[in-house]
Amino acid sequence: MAVRGPALVTGGSGFVGGALVRRLVGDGLEVRALARSAEAAARVESLGALVVRGDVMDPSSITSAAAGCSIVFHAAGVNAMCGVDASMMLRVNVEGSRNVVGASAAAGVERLVYTSSAAAIGERRGTVGREDSPHRGSFLSSYERSKFLAERVVFESASEAGLEVVAVNPASVQGPGRTTGTARLLVAAATSRLVPIVNTTVSFVDVDDCADGHVRAGERGAPGERYVLSGGVLTTRALMEALQGLAHRRPKTVVLPRVLVSLAGALAGPVGRLLRRDVPLCPELARTLLHGHAYDGSRSERDLGVRYTPIEETLRRTIAWHRDRGGLASRGRGASA
């Protein structure tokens, strides 16, 4: 089916959702964007979407927003680690997704594209994650658990409601506008004299390719299927070399011993709970870093027609974005990545 409007996007004020809104508006579609705050409303309105106030935890607001829409892109969710309480993330990602499916079906929507995560695949350490990879049977983080459960809920509730659903599972999404997570490594490489890293692997997808994958999943994706979006895999060493070449800097890189990362994560967790504050490192983040991720996005290339941007080009655009905004001024100190 061709993606035609009106289209509703949840999470349109976020990094991935915002790129999706820009893409759909650029394609000439009428786009509605669910916004639960004035700040989110201003953001999606600036992207050319029609603002509809609502919340994924309020099914009636979603039904009203989706009325008359042919397709819904559910990109809203919480992505966090090392939080003191993960229950809110679980409610939003799981129950919020259930609400979106039920409300979309009630509004007569034809198809829903769900933004899952490559983390939901749960591949075993040292293997390449694909759509059909067996799950390891355990979770590295509360976020990973929430996305695994949310994807299951989306498919099950959609089947019961008779709604077509296609899931996309993006790897680490990078590009201009990204300021958190792996993007901190980029800033550190371009501004610090000393950059501590963990020897691991990371899979990337350009933010514009991610948006393209969503649109193509809406057009060509098989109902009930998932599609991994991953444009490449790099070790942190290779990533640092690429960043240093693009930023024309050579900061000193220190590879942290795996046992030190694990121990630091174990100690930081209790400290965070004691202080009732979020901490930059915790057991689940340490586990995720040490596990590493390598994902295969070839099915999306083959079945959906996605063409991935070389990671070097993504990094080049991202560095330029940070530089234009003054985010790459040298700090002259070590920075944690």
Round to whole Å and give the CA distance between 47 and 39.
13
| Residues 225, 315 contacting (CB under 8 angstroms) | no
Which token pair is 196? Answer: 């501590």
| Residues 105, 163 contacting (CB under 8 angstroms) | yes
Round to whole Å and give the CA distance between 132 and 142.
22
**Greater confidence, 332 or 101?**
101
| Residues 59, 27 contacting (CB under 8 angstroms) | no
Least reliable range by pLDDT among 2-16, 202-216, 261-275: 261-275
Residue keyed to tokens 């296609």:
166
CA dist 225 → 3, 13, 159, 201 (Å): 17, 26, 12, 26
Q: What's the pTM value of the predicted model, to 2 decimals?
A: 0.91
Torsion angle, alpha carbons of 128, 129, 131, 133, to 10: 80
Phi, psi dihedrals of residue 318, rounded to the nearest 5°: -70, -40
Is-cis flag, bond preceding 280, omega within 30? no
**Greater confidence, 38 or 332?**
38
Please provide the average confidence, as pLDDT, over all residues in the chain.
Answer: 89
Residues 177-197: pLDDT tens digits? 887 766 776 676 667 777 788
pLDDT at 145: 97
DSSP conformation class of 106:
H
Burial class (CB in 10 A: 0-12, 13-18, 19+), 308: buried
Residues 6-43: pLDDT tens digits? 999 999 999 999 999 999 999 999 999 999 999 999 99
DSSP conformation class of 49:
P
| Residues 309, 168 contacting (CB under 8 angstroms) | no
Phi, psi dihedrals of residue 227, rounded to the nearest 5°: -135, 120
pLDDT at 189: 67
pLDDT at 29: 95
Round to whole Å and give the CA distance between 115 and 113.
7
User: Hey, what domains does the chain have and what are their CATH numbers?
Assistant: 7-174+205-230+295-309 (3.40.50.720)
Round to whole Å and give the CA distance between 194 and 204.
24
Round to whole Å and give the CA distance between 121 and 167.
12
**Greater confidence, 244 or 167?**
167
CA dist 318 → 63, 65, 207 (Å): 37, 33, 10
Round to whole Å and give the CA distance between 19 and 168.
15
CA dist 16 → 13, 114, 159, 178 (Å): 8, 12, 26, 9
Sheet holding 201-206, edge to edge: 172-174, 201-206, 232-235
Round to whole Å and give the CA distance between 207 and 169.
13
Largest Cα–Cα separation, the chain:
58
Residue keyed to tokens 């919480």:
78
